[in-house]
C-alpha cells in the first residue's frame, strides 16, 4: 500500500517543543554586519547539535531566467563573501557564468532559524580554488577528479570505474590539480535572519547593503 502524502504532511509538526527549544532573538542586540551575526548563529547551531549546519541551498538561474536550486556546502565566509565550489562546467557553474547572481538559504530547525543571503557572485583565483580543494578530504578530491559533473551518465558501472580510478589518483597524488574546480564567492546585497517563535510571531531581521553601509530593518513574518 502506497503512503498517503496528505496524511503524512498533516501529521507533522514544525519545531516540536519536545525536541526543539526556540531561542529568543532581540534584533536590537544584533551586530552591525550580517557576517558577525551569521558567525554567532552558526556557532550556536553547531553547539546545539544541528546536523550538517554548513549545508545550504544554492539558487541560480539559467540563461533564460529559469530558476534551479540544490544543496551544497559552505566553504567559508569572510569580508569577501560566502564561498562555495564546483566544476565550472557543471550546471550551476554554467548558470553562474551566464548570470553571476545567486541566493543562499541555511535552515537550522533545531533552533527554528533560517538565514537567507543573495547578491552577485565572483570567482576566486585558480590558486585559491586549488588551495580550497586540497584543504578538503581525500574523498572530496576524488569526487573532483572523477569530473563530468552534470553530464549524462550511461550507467552506475561507468561511475564506479571512474570513481575508483579517481580515488586511486587522489591517494597517490594528494596535490593533484583539477583545472575546472572553481571557488565562487557570493557578496551579499542583502541578508535576512529568521528566528521562529512558538506563537508564530517570528522575528525577521534584514540587512541591506547601501553606499553608506548596512541598513537593518524588521520585516513582517
Give the pLDDT confidence of 66-119 residue by residue, as tens digits: 999 999 999 999 999 999 999 999 999 999 999 999 999 999 999 999 999 999
- Joined together, the cell numbers standing for residue 28 give 536590537
Alpha carbons 136 and 73: distance in angstroms, whole number: 12
Residues with pLDDT less than 50, the chain = none
In three-state secondary structure terms, 49 is coil
Measured from the Cβ of residue 57, the count of other Cβ atoms closer than 10 Å reads: 14
| Per-residue model confidence (pLDDT) at position 75 | 97
Which residues in the chain belong to E strands, given as ranges?
55-61, 67-73, 76-78, 81-87, 101-108, 113-123, 181-186, 190-195, 203-210, 213-219
Alpha helices in 48-137 (DSSP H): 91-98, 126-134
**pTM higher than 0.85:** yes
| Per-residue model confidence (pLDDT) at position 56 | 98
| Per-residue model confidence (pLDDT) at position 74 | 98
Secondary structure element (H or E) that encloses residue 89, with its range: none
Asked whether the beta carbons of 183 and 144 are under 8 A apart, the reply is: no
Cα dihedral sign for 63, 66, 67, 73?
negative
Amino acid at each position: 500500500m502506497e503512503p498517503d502524502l496528505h496524511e503524512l504532511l498533516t501529521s507533522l509538526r514544525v519545531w516540536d517543543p519536545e525536541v526543539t527549544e526556540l531561542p529568543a532573538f532581540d534584533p536590537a542586540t544584533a551586530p552591525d554586519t550580517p557576517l558577525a551575526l551569521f558567525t554567532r548563529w552558526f556557532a550556536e547551531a553547531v553547539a546545539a547539535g544541528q546536523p550538517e549546519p554548513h549545508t545550504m541551498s544554492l539558487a541560480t538561474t539559467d540563461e533564460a531566467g529559469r530558476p534551479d536550486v540544490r544543496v551544497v556546502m559552505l566553504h567559508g565566509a569572510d569580508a569577501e563573501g560566502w564561498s562555495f565550489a564546483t566544476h565550472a562546467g557543471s550546471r550551476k557553474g554554467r548558470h553562474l557564468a551566464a548570470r553571476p547572481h545567486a541566493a543562499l538559504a541555511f535552515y537550522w530547525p533545531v533552533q527554528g532559524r533560517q538565514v537567507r543571503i543573495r547578491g552577485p557572485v565572483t570567482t576566486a583565483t585558480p590558486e585559491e580554488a586549488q588551495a580550497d580543494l586540497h584543504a578538503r578530504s581525500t574523498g572530496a578530491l576524488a569526487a573532483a577528479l572523477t569530473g563530468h559533473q552534470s553530464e549524462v551518465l550511461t550507467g552506475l558501472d561507468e561511475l564506479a570505474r571512474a570513481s575508483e580510478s579517481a580515488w586511486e589518483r587522489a591517494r597517490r597524488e594528494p596535490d593533484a590539480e583539477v583545472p575546472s574546480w572553481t571557488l565562487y564567492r557570493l557578496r551579499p546585497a542583502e541578508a535576512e535572519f529568521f528566528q521562529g517563535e512558538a506563537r508564530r510571531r517570528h522575528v525577521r531581521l534584514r540587512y541591506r547593503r547601501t553606499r553608506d553601509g548596512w541598513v537593518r530593518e524588521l520585516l513582517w513574518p
